[in-house]
Structure 1
Amino acid sequence: MASPYRTLLAVPGARAFVAAGFVGRMSMSMVGIGIVLLVSAVTGSYGIAGTVSATMAVAYAAAAPLSARFADRYGQRRVLIPLVSANAVAFSLLISFALFEAPLWTLYPASALAGLTQVSLGAWVRSRWSHVLTGTSIPMGTAYSFESVMDELIFVAGPILVTSLATGVHPAAGLAVAASCTLAGGLAFARLRGTEPPPRPLTPGTSPRGGAFTNPALRIMTPIFLFVGLVFGAMDVAGVAFATEQGHKPLAGVLLGCYAGGSATSAFWYGARNWASSLDRRFLIGIVLQAVLLVPLPLIGNFWLMLPVAFVAGLAISPTIIPGFGLVERVVPSGQLTEGLALVSTSLSIGAAAGASLAGRIADAYGAMESFLVPLASSVLAALVALAGIRAISKRELSSQTIAE
């Protein structure tokens, strides 16, 4: 491992919360697929399964920023323990209702409860990094780079694990393991009091009102992350559709792995460098580069050629996401950091769900190659919003730096 990452993990308590956070958020790449595999196996309908999964996703999108706000205000431990406990109950109900053939309508409130109690643990981990690195010489970019690598590992390994369990062991096995990861990792994370950021309760007259979304810079960053999420979700579906259309369906995971591998490679590279340029400049370069590198994808009609092209396209992900999270940390008050990070993380998730749906419709109607136009168009929209709003983001970043100094 490169020296900056050794130094990062040598921070007291870091290895423990990294491990707990990794286990706890494994489920973020598993629960959606796990619900689809379980419900479709029981009902024989992918339509019902997709609707149940979407119910959970919508509930999660609505609740995750709110639970993060409570974590900022009351402390991570006080909020996390009841949430992950309730989440385990919700998934137990969902699995039981599915397996014991309860009325179909019961699946929806159980799924909604699971979404409402699912936390954006990646945001909580990043908030903890911000706390433990305060006063050290380690740049936050190194921590965000490391977490981006962890996210890539999760999104590569999670779908493979849940699919293997659901198809090879039992239809409910994948979802059960995903729920267990949330419970075990969440409880372990909550127990680590030494690295927990202190709660920042509201102080009348001094605390920001209305939540983190009232921050002007965050109102610009959120739609950018939404469009970036559209890129991710559309790439997954377009990649599978392309591999299938080319007669290489069993190798769809390899294609998606190339895209994720490009991101992981650039994350390691990004975090090992000491950057002199500003965060907003790096973010803008990354998001424009992402659009440029996606241009060749709709033009390639050969599976084997697509593999290196997907890897190269993936190289732009981390240089976009890492400074993006860094900007959020810079422009959002420390008392709203977890909420701010959760907002952009949730935007990624919502965008990914929308992108997957849109790319699937395009693939069905026009073909797999055409479905790559969805991530390309989404990346262009993200770049346009960033170009239009970068001045406001830069002003907010400079203002925050001045206050900090």
Structure 2
Amino acid sequence: MSTPSPRPSYAAVLRAPHALRAFTAALVGRLSYGTVSLALMLSLTRSTGSYAMAGTLMALFGATSVFLSPYRAALVDRHGPRRALLPMALLYATLLGALAAACWRPGAHPAVLAGTAALAGACTPPLGPTMRAVWAELLPDRAMVQRAYSLDGVAEELLFVSGPLLVGVVVGVAPPAVGVALSALLVAVGTLVFATSPAAGALRPAGRAKDGTPAAGRAGTGQGRALLQPVVVAAGVGVSVSAVDLLAVAFAGQHGHGDGTVAWVLAALSAGSAVGGLLNGAVTWRSSARARLPFLAAGLGLCLAAAGLAPGVGMLVAAVTCAGLFVAPALTTAYLIADESAEPGFRTRAGAWCNTAVNAGMSAGAAAVGLLVERLPLPVCFALCGAVAVAAALVPGRRRGATGERPGLLSRRPGGSRPSPSRPSPSPSRTSGRP
């Protein structure tokens, strides 16, 4: 009788060859995304003297960063992390340095700031999607990949909580532009160490098919349909989660509480997400990722709808904590499905589409709730935001092939050997992008 393979642990994931160096370096680079938005907003506000102008410039920076993400990921798929990420990171860090210099003293021309901010956003290196692609390439079976994605998601959540705190420390002793310069340094150093690591080197550029067609450009309509479910759910999660920020502010105002209450609510959401992500990675699921994803999205939506009925802050914190339990698992599962659906040479882009969907959903959710909260009762606003996640859960999961997995994936079992088919390829505060 064969002995069953032991359940993989988080320590086992980090003990994979060269994984710890790559993951640590990627986290250093991604910490820049947790610091840059607040530091840049403060710098632009001080430089222009206008909240409206600073907001417009931040919108330009965020738009080019979010919506060009799949195209930057395509460069990683086509040329590999070393040839694609290093030039991006160098340009991004240089442009952030230019913004820091321009904002050091008031009076910079808005057109200069706008052009530099837009170009900087366009060069943002997709460290998150690339690191997830590296995990999927590096680890021998899907159980370990699930554990790695959960660890990655929880770590990212912590980065976007600690990043603004770090900026708060910096601006206490120096101008906000120093925070922008720090963001440039973090992304340059982190990307350099990550892209030159042996683990990143395992993510090879897409080759060419026998007919000469670049593999990275051959994703068909079947893959598009397979990605529909995770992308829509990721967008729904983004809408719902971003809504909590403003809804918490409105709830505190209606119940006579100060801004400290809002901080507790948002902390509860982050804590719930971190706990949920760790639990999701620890469980050996019998159901497929596509079967789990609708339940996770629906759970998030129902908890948010229930939060609107909370009679006081204590119940609101409890309900939001329960909602958070579904956030990281839903996003992790969406990333897993995207990776399983990826055609050869499309792995980084598949994850980047989910990433883009989350960020676009966050932007749309923040804008929509800002309009709704002044026109509708607060419980109705909570219910509508929850309904978005529930509606996303209704999108049917369509597999790319008969098994819904990439060729060769079925032979990657816990404890089994890795096949060698062609190598195919998951946000500052919640209202900004998570490259």
Fold match (TM-score > 0.5): yes
CA 241–119 in structure 1, closer or farther in 2 if over 3 Å, else same: farther
Residues 227-272 of structure 1: per-residue CA shift (max 9 Å, x gap): 2211222122323443455423024222111111111111111111
Match of 2:42 among 37, 40, 52: 37
- Residue identity opposite 1:217 in structure 2: A
Contact 1:359 1:372 in 2 (8 A): no
How far apart, CA to CA, are the structure 2 residues paired with 1:397 and 1:102?
Answer: 58
Unaligned runs of 5+ in 1: none
CA 10–193 in structure 1, closer or farther in 2 if over 3 Å, else same: closer
Contact 1:29 1:159 in 2 (8 A): yes
Match of 1:231 among 215, 229, 240: 240
Contact 1:236 1:256 in 2 (8 A): yes
How far apart, CA to CA, are the structure 2 residues paired with 1:166 and 1:241?
Answer: 28
**Structure 1 range deviating more: 363-372 or 193-202:** 363-372
How far apart, CA to CA, are the structure 2 residues paired with 1:398 and 1:238?
Answer: 41
Instruction: Give the structure 1 partner of residue 94 of structure 2.
Output: 89
Query: Normalised by the size of structure 1, how large is the TM-score?
Result: 0.90
CA 397–362 in structure 1, closer or farther in 2 if over 3 Å, else same: farther
Give the alignment of 1:287-366 within 5 angstroms: 287-364=297-374
How far apart, CA to CA, are the structure 2 residues paired with 1:27 and 1:366?
Answer: 37
How far apart, CA to CA, are the structure 1 residues paired with 2:288 and 2:232?
Answer: 21
Corresponding residue SS for 1:77: helix
Match of 2:82 among 64, 77, 80: 77
How far apart, CA to CA, are the structure 1 residues paired with 2:297 and 2:402?
Answer: 18
Instruction: Give the structure 2 partner of residue 265 of structure 1.
Output: 275
CA 310–220 in structure 1, closer or farther in 2 if over 3 Å, else same: closer
What's the % identity of the aligned pairs? 26
CA offset at residue 348 of structure 1?
0.8
Residues 353-387 of structure 1: per-residue CA shift (max 9 Å, x gap): 22122223334555766653453232133223x2x
Give the alignment of 1:99-110 within 5 angstroms: 99-100=104-105, 101-110=107-116
Report how many residues are paired.
398
Residues 329-356 of structure 1: per-residue CA shift (max 9 Å, x gap): 1111241101110111111112112212
Residues 65-104 of structure 1: per-residue CA shift (max 9 Å, x gap): 1111111111101111111110011112222222342211
Residues 6-52 of structure 1: per-residue CA shift (max 9 Å, x gap): 11111111111111111111122332222222112222322111111
- Residue identity opposite 2:115 in structure 1: P
How far apart, CA to CA, are the structure 2 residues paired with 1:372 and 1:272?
Answer: 30
How far apart, CA to CA, are the structure 2 residues paired with 1:169 and 1:374?
Answer: 42
How far apart, CA to CA, are the structure 1 residues paired with 2:30 and 2:131?
Answer: 10
More helix by share: 1
| 1:218 maps onto 2:224 in alignment | no
Instruction: Give the structure 2 partner of residue 199 of structure 1.
Output: 205
- Residue identity opposite 1:85 in structure 2: L
CA 133–241 in structure 1, closer or farther in 2 if over 3 Å, else same: same
Corresponding residue SS for 1:118: coil
CA 89–402 in structure 1, closer or farther in 2 if over 3 Å, else same: closer
Residues 255-312 of structure 1: per-residue CA shift (max 9 Å, x gap): 1111111111111111112111111111121112111111112222422221121111
CA 179–237 in structure 1, closer or farther in 2 if over 3 Å, else same: farther
Residues 154-185 of structure 1: per-residue CA shift (max 9 Å, x gap): 12212222244335532223322222221121
Match of 1:158 among 154, 163, 172: 163
How far apart, CA to CA, are the structure 2 residues paired with 1:364 and 1:248?
Answer: 19
Residues 192-225 of structure 1: per-residue CA shift (max 9 Å, x gap): 0344311113432473636588622124432332
How far apart, CA to CA, are the structure 1 residues paired with 2:54 and 2:375?
Answer: 22
Instruction: Give the structure 2 partner of residue 66 of structure 1.
Output: 71
Contact 1:165 1:173 in 2 (8 A): yes
- Residue identity opposite 2:103 in structure 1: A
C-alpha RMSD of matched pairs (Å): 2.4
Instruction: Give the structure 1 partner of residue 122 of structure 2.
Output: 116
| 1:144 maps onto 2:149 in alignment | yes
